[in-house]
Chains A and B, each alone.
Chain A
Amino acid sequence: MKRLLLLLPLVLFLGLVGYFAVGLRHDPSVLPSAMIDKPAPDFALGPVLDGVPGLSSQDLKGQVSLVNVFASWCAPCRVEHPLLTRLAREQGIAINAIAYKDKPEATRTFLAQMGNPFSRIGMDQDGRVAIDWGVYGVPETYVIDRQGRIRYRHVGPLMPRDVEEKILPMIRELSK
């Protein structure tokens, strides 16, 4: 008993080491979403690009889809754009978008330069709809299930690894 008690500081120390090891790997700028498993907020945003309809909460029902929140002024959005394009073209995933706090002309120029992978784009000029989604920066990408519920949020630019390890398995699971 006495012997075991002597080991207590070591055990506490190892516990702290474990705690810090986990804490150091945790990125404090990535916040959990409060909207997970909740229906996407009620909204209706007008179109910005000719031939591409706007986006409303009704459009999110009926199929598994991604919603990408982007802006032409956001550099990481340019980084992830080719990957979104590949997802839409090669994997046939429905990707909708919210254009966040941007001038419509700037959004149009951005999409003309980078190509448009989005089935629908809603123009959120004052960022109010994004606040309802709990968006706190661009880009953010949401996985939406058939019932129009938010199932996952990715903060920051999508990287091939995020897509392989998280987004695609999730979409496969939800599409069953």
Chain B
Amino acid sequence: MRLPARILAAAGLATLLAGPAFAVLPDEKLADPALEARAREISQELRCLVCQNQSIDDSNAPLARDLRVLVRERLAAGDSNGQVLQYLTDRYGDFVLLKPPVRPYTWVLWFGPFALLLVAGAGTAFYLRNRRSEAVQAAAGLTAEEEARLQALLATDAGDGAGDETDGERRR
């Protein structure tokens, strides 16, 4: 069965036009598109405290809806984005922000990975340098004591070799 090209094109266009689903309801939206865009931007940075890992922009929780409406009201009243975020952190704490701010108590979070990398890097460098200095020592040659022991061993070896020869001669 062949579908008419027109239907296919319409279906394709509809797929392209379909955006991701958000929880924002039409009655919450602001008439001013610029303000609404800012509201969306702010809402995506705010955690829904009920579901915790969704932004209030994505969440269907009643509290998320109340906060979305509140964000829009603050914007309509002339608040800057920063002021709106401040308004909410004053009430709900830094946890309401999905991106944790850099504060002394979040230093481990922000700088911990770099500190770990530094420690691990220092450890690796230390280990590699140690191994190299051992290799250098090995290549540098023998001490007088080792040289003497080596000569003694070689001398015994040579003696054994001579013995083998005599053995051979005897058999012959």
**Alpha-carbon separation in the docked complex, A134 to B62 (Å):** 15
- B62-80, CB under 8 A of A: which get 1 and which 0? 1100110010000000000
Q: Which residues of B contact A131 (CB under 8 A)?
A: 66-67, 70, 91
User: Is the Cβ of A28 less than 8 Å from the Cβ of B52?
Assistant: yes
Q: Which residues of B contact A136 (CB under 8 A)?
A: 49-50, 63, 92
Who on chain A is nearest to B88 by CB? A131
Verify if A61 is at the interface (C-beta below 8 Å from B).
no
Q: How many residues of A contact B (CB 8 A)?
A: 18
Q: Which residues of A contact B89 (CB under 8 A)?
A: 34
Given A28-B52, A29-B52, A31-B49, decide whether A134 and B66 contact each other with a Cβ distance below 8 A.
no
**Alpha-carbon separation in the docked complex, A100 to B27 (Å):** 22
> Restricting to A5-41, which residues have a CB under 8 Å from any CB of B?
28-29, 31-35, 41
Q: Which residues of A contact B114 (CB under 8 A)?
A: none
Cβ distance A36 to chain B, nearest Cβ, rounded Å: 10
User: Is the Cβ of A35 less than 8 Å from the Cβ of B52?
Assistant: no
Who on chain B is nearest to A33 by CB? B93
Given A28-B52, A29-B52, decide whether A34 and B63 contact each other with a Cβ distance below 8 A.
no
Verify if A127 is at the interface (C-beta below 8 Å from B).
yes
Q: Which residues of B contact A41 (CB under 8 A)?
A: 91
Q: Which residues of A contact B111 (CB under 8 A)?
A: none
**Alpha-carbon separation in the docked complex, A132 to B67 (Å):** 11
User: Is the Cβ of A137 less than 8 Å from the Cβ of B91?
Assistant: no
- B136-157, CB under 8 A of A: which get 1 and which 0? 0000000000000000000000
By DSSP majority rule, is chain A's interface helix, strand, loop, or mixed? loop
User: Is the Cβ of B93 less than 8 Å from the Cβ of A34?
Assistant: yes
Verify if A103 is at the interface (C-beta below 8 Å from B).
no
User: Is the Cβ of B91 less than 8 Å from the Cβ of A133?
Assistant: yes
Given A34-B89, A34-B90, A134-B93, decide whether A101 and B62 contact each other with a Cβ distance below 8 A.
yes
User: Is the Cβ of A134 less than 8 Å from the Cβ of B63?
Assistant: no
Which of these, B50, B66, B91, B92, contacts A127 with CB under 8 Å?
B66
**Alpha-carbon separation in the docked complex, A33 to B63 (Å):** 16
Show 8 residue pairs from A and B whose CB-CB distance is below 8 angstroms, ordered by the A residue.
A33-B93, A34-B91, A127-B62, A128-B66, A131-B70, A134-B91, A136-B49, A136-B63
Query: Which residues of B are in contact with A by a Cβ distance under 8 Å?
Result: 49-50, 52, 62-63, 66-67, 70, 89-95
Query: Which residues of A are in contact with B by a Cβ distance under 8 Å?
Result: 28-29, 31-35, 41, 101, 126-128, 131-134, 136-137
- A-B interface, 9 closest residue pairs, ranked by CB to CB distance from nearest: A34-B93, A136-B49, A134-B91, A134-B92, A127-B66, A31-B95, A34-B92, A136-B63, A34-B91
